[in-house]
Amino acid sequence: MITFSNLIYRLPGGVAQGLIWGIMALGIYITFRVLNVSDLTVDGSFTTGGAVTIMCILAGVNPILALLISFIVGILTGIATGLIHTKLKIPAILAGILVQFGLYSINLHIMNMSANVSANPDRFNLLISMRNVPNAILIGIIISIVHIIVLYWYFGTEQGSAIRATGNNSNMALAQGINIGNMKVIGFGIGNGIVALAGGLMGQYQGFADINMGRGAIVIGLAAIIIGEVVINFIFKKGCSFYTRLTSVIIGGIIYYAAMVIILWLRIDSNDLKLFTAIIVTIFLAIPNLKVKKGGK
Amino acid sequence: MLKIDNISKTFNPGTINQKVALSNLSLQLEEGDFVTVIGSNGAGKSTMLNAISGSWFVDEGKIFVDDIDVTLMSEYQRARYIGRVFQDPLMGTAADMWIEENLALASRRGKSRGLRVGISRKEREIYYEKLKALNLGLEERLTTKVGLLSGGQRQALTLLMATIQKPKLLLLDEHTAALDPSTAKKVLDLTDQLVNENNLTTLMITHNMQDAIDHGNRLIMMNDGIIILDVRGEEKASLTKEYLIKKFNELSNGTLDNDALLLSK
């Protein structure tokens, strides 16, 4: 039934999931906005993170440690894409698709060849769970803040600056003696590490990992980044700090998922959601390009 | 300081587009030499600079910078010894990063980049002073994105970046060609200033004959991938445009008459 109280009841859960997608979008932000390439590994590495976390928890590993293990495994998937791209000279998009494709089998192996594995919150100690949404929101916010602070610090270091220069102008980076291949591999690694960690959070939140849980992650991440940019461009006409930019990605994730909750509340067929998302992301990605054309540049 | 020993480079070998860009080219620069390079389009000037900076490997021959064999070093490894300014003002700087961030990246040219802070407070003071010496007012805009600067300002900044950590060799690839005449003159004056202050060994390509005569202590003319004229010292100081054009037509067998126009710009 479409009642307002029903929507109010559902929204907090949407916010909690939005936070997790927002954290994942931070990982995509590193490749998409900092390195200026589209990394399609994420659809696979998100699932990898979920699978690794749930399997660790089933094996009795502490849920926070399980997330850290997912983070490291995620870095490895990113490094694989980075090396295929830089050493074998395969375009980044294709390298990502190849790794993502291969990860499907690896993810199944991680989950002992079953399409989904669950960790019952009654029996296992989970960091966050949909059983306790306020707690999930609180922890989601804390993890977001930690990510934003660490990323802000990292991209201010010598190495982080070198990665930014590589993405901004690889010619200039080369002329300054920056090993742009290595910088890309590091960027892909960190990005996918964060994506996998978010996958682990999602696995804990919903209480299971599913072989298809990462499908469309790249599009959701792009949606979060773009929605966040629209918001900050609206509020800060004269540009803003890197802190604000990173925060906007998280907020973009929340807005995206809250919108999904509303659409579902309106009883729109959930099978059409992907089409809506694809159309919205296409429009927002196109707007800057069309504006430039109009300006005659 | 720079020794090019018999290098050759052919692009697209064995295809219909085969082009011999450099053939058995040799050149030696002493420390502090400021060499201007002229020649028609396709003469191999930029190809020579790209061979030195490592955009690709040469087919034959060796390249030494300060007795270090760089022939098989990759481009980013050679950057440790070489400062570069490109023709396109957009190429030498990172547009979305601040002026001070660009300078900090340049100050670490060829050094390992770890997890230390990207710019220290002390560095900022140095950048302030160095920018002040350029007389462009950029010292008050350390946290301005480079993309907001004019082409001339960006070229001046790129020059400073190429020299802020003294390179063994400075390569200037028509770095004033995309600027209007008065800005080009400012950037050239700045080039002289920085080269003299640091006693830099420099190779400067130019399309402007007068600039080639007015700057540096040695002039070389290239055609078809080889050096056809090499003048230095007193003799160079007394060169005239007319003489160079005449010489060019003689040495290149007048095959490229149209380029005389271009060269005498």
Residue B162 lies in a domain: no
Residue A257 contacts residue A216 (beta carbons within 8 Å): no
Say if the Cβ atoms of A171 and B91 lie within 8 Å.
yes
Every domain of chain A and the residues it spans: 4-294
**String of DSSP letters for B14-59:** TSTT-EEEEEEEEEEE-TT-EEEEEE-TTSSHHHHHHHHHTSS--S
Give the contacts of B151 (CB within 8 A, at least 6 positions apart).
B89, B178, B179, B183
Q: Does B64 fall in a domain?
A: yes
- The residues, ordered by sequence, that sit 6+ positions from B234 with a Cβ below 8 Å of its Cβ are none
pLDDT (tens digit per residue) in A5-16? 888 888 999 999
Per CB-CB distance under 8 Å, the chain A contacts of B77 are 177
Mean pLDDT of B84-94: 96
Range A199-215 average pLDDT = 97
CA distance A203 to A82: 26
- Domain assignment present for residue B189? The answer is yes
pLDDT of A296: 44
Phi and psi at residue A290, to the nearest 5°: -65, -35
pLDDT digits (tens, 9 = 90+) for A74-83: 999 999 999 9
Task: Return the CATH number of the domain spanning residue range A4-294.
Answer: 1.10.3470
Concatenated DSSP letters for A209-242? EETTTTTTHHHHHHHHHHHHHHHHHHH-TT---H
pLDDT per residue as tens digits for the range A159-183: 999 999 999 999 999 999 999 999 9
SS3 B164: helix
Around Cβ B61, how many Cβ atoms within 10 Å?
17
Supply the range of the domain harboring residue B33. Answer: 2-81+167-263
Which whole number is the average pLDDT over B244-253? 82
Q: Closest partner residue to A168 among B76, B94, B117, by Cβ?
A: B94
Give the closest-approach CA distance of A251 to chain B in angstroms: 23
Contacts of A164 in chain B (CB under 8 A): 94, 96-97, 101
Determine whether the interchain pair B79/A174 forms a contact, defined as Cβ–Cβ distance below 8 Å. yes
B52 token code pair: 């030195």
Q: Give the model confidence (pLDDT) of B47-70 as tens digits.
A: 999 999 999 999 999 999 999 999
pLDDT for the residue numbered A294: 53
Helix/strand/coil for A114: coil
CATH of the domain at B248: 3.40.50.300
User: Residue B107 falls within a domain, yes or no?
Assistant: no
* pLDDT on residue A297: 40
> Which residues in chain B have their CB less than 8 angstroms from residue A161's CB?
97, 101, 104-105, 113, 118
Determine the average pLDDT of the residues in A34-56. Answer: 97
Structure tokens at B170: 């400075």
A293 pLDDT more than 70: no
Give contacts of A171 with chain B, Cβ < 8 Å. Answer: 86, 91-92
* pLDDT band with cut points at 50, 70 and 90 for residue A2: confident
Average pLDDT rounded to a whole number, residues A25-49: 97
pLDDT grade, residue A137 (50/70/90)? very high
pLDDT at B164 over 60: yes
In this prediction the ipTM stands at: 0.91
Which residues are CB-contacts of B121 (< 8 A; sequence separation ≥ 6)?
Answer: none
Cα-based angle B216, B222, B228 (whole degrees, multiple of 5): 100
User: Cα–Cα–Cα angle for A188, A91, A194, nearest 5°?
Assistant: 15
Give every CB contact of residue B135 below 8 A, 6+ residues apart in sequence.
none
Question: If you average pLDDT over every residue of chain B, what do you get?
Answer: 92
Q: What is the dihedral of CA A277, A281, A282, A287, to 10 degrees?
A: 140
- Strand A208-210, strand B34-39: pairing: unpaired
Count of the separate structural domains present in chain B: 1
Residues of chain A in contact with residue B91, where contact means CB-CB under 8 angstroms, are 169, 171-172
Output A4 or B157, whichever has higher pLDDT.
Answer: B157
Contacts for B66 with CB less than 8 Å, ≥ 6 apart: B1, B2, B81, B168, B169
The whole-angstrom separation of Cα A194 and Cα A217 is 13
List B residues 189-228 in contact with A (Cβ-Cβ < 8 A): none
Answer whether residue B261 shows pLDDT above 80. no
Contact check, Cβ <8 Å, A173/B118: no
How confident is the model over B103-142, as pLDDT tens digits?
A: 999 999 989 999 999 999 999 999 999 999 998 999 999 9
Q: Is B173 left (phi over 0), alpha (psi -120 to 50) or beta?
A: beta
| Per-residue confidence (pLDDT) for residue A277, from 0 to 100 | 83
- Beta carbons of A177 and B76 less than 8 Å apart: yes
**pTM summary value:** 0.93
Backbone region of residue A250 per phi and psi (left: phi > 0; alpha: psi in -120 to 50; beta: other values): alpha
